[in-house]
Amino acid sequence: MPNSSEVRELSAFLNEHTPFQAVPGDELEQLATGAVVETYPAGAVVADFSQRVPDDVWMVRSGQVVLRSSADGIVIDTVDVGGIFGYLPLLTGAGSDFDARTAVASTLIRLPGALVRAQFAKPAGLAFLASAAGKGPGRPTIATAIDNRPVCELLHGDPLLVTPGTAVRDVVVAMTEQHVGCALIRLPDGALGIFTDRDLRTRVVARGLPLDTGIEQVMSAPARTVTADLTADTVLMEMLECGLRHMPVVTTRGEVLGVVEDADLLAAAARQSFLLRRAIGTATTSAALQQAGARVTSVAVDLFRNGTKAAATSAILSVVIDSLVRKALELAIAESTGPVAGFAWLTLGSVARREAMPSSDVDSALSFAEPAAAGPLRDVAALVHRTLDGCGLPSDTNGAVAYHPAFARAAPDWAAAAEGWLKHPLVDRGLIMSSLLLDGRVVWGDPGLHTVPAVYRRLRTEGRDALRLQLLNALSGKVRTRGLRDVLSRRGGTFDLKNHAITPIVNLARWGGMTAGVSSASTPARLAAAAQVGSISERDADTLCDVFAMLQRLRMAHQVEQISAGHTPGDVVTMSELSPLNRGLLSDGLREIAAVRRRVGGFGVPRG
């Protein structure tokens, strides 16, 4: 039985992970008191659920556990730190056709089944089971934060619809009776207004308005809406981008189906990203912004640890970084004494593709209408990056920053430069600059000032040489690939996940996007576009997307471990420290990348 100090430590650990985050302190202590901490070497069988129904549930405290089908040995899932397994056989009272083995030396917490079963009978436990339902018998996972289901599947209950002129008092009473957090107002022109708990606090109570005020005077209109076919993760990104907690879901004809809330999309840890974004939005000084920004990395860590997929964690991290950039710009502009109107701020690189990692730096560029604004705007950019540095988001070490003259130009100059890169891609670092600027995404200002993509849409007809060089650049580095296979086969040395695995996919996807006329987009979106125009096969696009997702998961897991150990996150892994499973996945992924590159290289540039 654990001593009092161990009980406190176990209670704290359990409280950090789903589904025990909402468990009262005394019940957590009871769970921790009944727990047994066990250590296993790599490859040890923890439990064979095909042989017996367990009396316990296991949580991974350190290491990793692999769940394999007893029939064919196929890996069903991996359970990382904070994940639990064994609960479905326990709850159903029936055996399951899988066993659990440690992938590396691991420490596990064995929790008494009776106490865990009691927790699953409560709302938080039921929500956890609901999120895990439908994933196949014996396929344990921790509750995912967001997913790719159509958002209409997350709707529950009928929306509250009221008419303009309804008194605030009556709307609030109806919201309370129906247990909803907002009311929708159908406007005469067919659009929707929305009234939320926050509107009640800030627009009614704070202003001292009487409760018989008409709802149309305190609502937000027009309300943003999404259609029912959009995926949950897409809707989450829009809600996070706009700082919204409620999103009406409508049909393509505008009929209201319901309202999705952030709580419907997010696990408890993921809600921190909304709270952080709001803290960023309310910052009034650089110091306050840096204090909020310092939490960015920890939010990403918590998201991933609590079950959010690496791709979704990266996207949320990118959105929060965008918020930091915009607020830093707002504060810097307020301090500026020069003309700073008429410009667009571009985010470049992985943040622009919504693929940021905790190790990502911040690349940027400026495009402005008047050349006279160059000096003041570069001063603003320098201040922005100093603020971001204080948030723990360093500037690009290669100089791709908006205060550098090469990355701060008037819009016509950007277009002229792009024309030059198109005609002479080896001059003025044309290949590199075009790659950076094609990733660019406007996060502040007039999108029309980003003039490079329009030039590059003519690639298929006017830039054949540039397109071929982009493909050659994407297919370069074959010698390094052979050397890396040697590293993998020896299971020793180090491996740079970004430079030697991720970057080849990103470059190939960027070229594929160019052939399809797609500029700023995620790597998977570019691959899909390339497949649609025949630049690569659908099978190869799907393969690269799968490998990319696997590599991003490895990167995120590695960086989260580094941060937890107090180290600066990076992409270089020591091969001997990877689990056999991950080492095998990496090896297979490299072979797939090499095979696709060979096929694309033989296929060449599609005809326009």
pLDDT (0 to 100) of residue 555: 93
CATH number given to 471-603 = 1.20.120
- DSSP-assigned letters across all residues of 50-106: TT---SEEEEEEES-EEEEETTT--EEEEE-TT-EESHHHHHHTS--SEEEEESSSE
**Pairing relationship of beta strands 408-410 and 363-368 according to DSSP bridges:** parallel
Alpha-carbon distance 523 to 528, whole Å? 9
* 8 A C-beta contact, residue 114 and residue 48: no
- DSSP-assigned letters across all residues of 273-338: HHHHHHHHHH--SHHHHHHHHTTHHHHHHHHHHTT--HHHHHHHHHHHHHHHHHHHHHHHHHH--S
pLDDT (0 to 100) of residue 478: 46
Alpha-carbon distance 286 to 465, whole Å? 46
Which secondary structure element, helix H or strand E, spans residue 343, and what is its range? strand 343-348
pLDDT (0 to 100) of residue 551: 93
Max distance between CA atoms of the chain, in angstroms, equals 77
Name the 3-class secondary structure at 161. strand
Q: Which residues of 108-119 are buried (b: 16+ CB within 10 A; e: fewer)?
A: bbbbbbebbeeb
Q: How many CA atoms are closer than 13 Å to the CA of 140, on its beta-carbon side?
A: 29
Taking phi first (over 0 means left), then psi (-120 to 50 degrees means alpha), and beta for anything else, what does residue 568 get?
Answer: beta
Alpha-carbon separation of residue 490 from 292, 353, 481, 484 (angstroms): 44, 34, 14, 10
Q: At what angle do helices 286-293 and 374-390 cross, to 10 degrees?
A: 50
Alpha-carbon separation of residue 451 from 194, 365, 436, 446 (angstroms): 37, 12, 13, 11
Alpha-carbon distance 234 to 244, whole Å? 14
| Residue 498 CA from chain centroid, whole number | 17
Fold exhibited by the domain 271-456: Beta Polymerase; domain 2 (3.30.460)
Q: Letter for the amino acid at 299?
A: V
Cβ neighbours of residue 228 under 8 Å, at least 6 residues apart?
150, 151, 152, 249, 250, 251, 257
DSSP state of 144: P
Superfamily of domain 4-132: Jelly Rolls (2.60.120.10)
* Side-by-side strand order, sheet with 84-85: 36-40, 106-112, 56-62, 84-85
> Residue 78's beta-bridge partner residues?
66
CATH number given to 151-265 = 3.10.580.10
> Which of 603, 523, 456, 472 lies closest to 310, judged by CA?
523
Alpha-carbon distance 42 to 46, whole Å? 11
Q: Where do the domains of the chain lie?
A: 4-132, 151-265, 271-456, 471-603
Sign of CA dihedral 319, 323, 328, 333: positive
Alpha-carbon distance 437 to 419, whole Å? 13
pLDDT (0 to 100) of residue 139: 32
- DSSP-assigned letters across all residues of 122-143: SHHHHHHHHHHTTS-TT---PP
- Average pLDDT per consecutive 10 residues, the chain (608 residues; last block may be shorter): 83 85 85 92 86 80 82 67 78 64 90 82 56 37 47 82 91 83 89 87 79 91 87 74 83 87 59 74 89 87 78 87 93 86 93 93 94 91 94 88 95 91 77 87 92 79 68 61 48 80 92 86 91 92 92 92 90 84 84 88 53
Q: Determine the straight-line distance between the first and last CA of the chain, rounded to whole angstroms.
A: 72
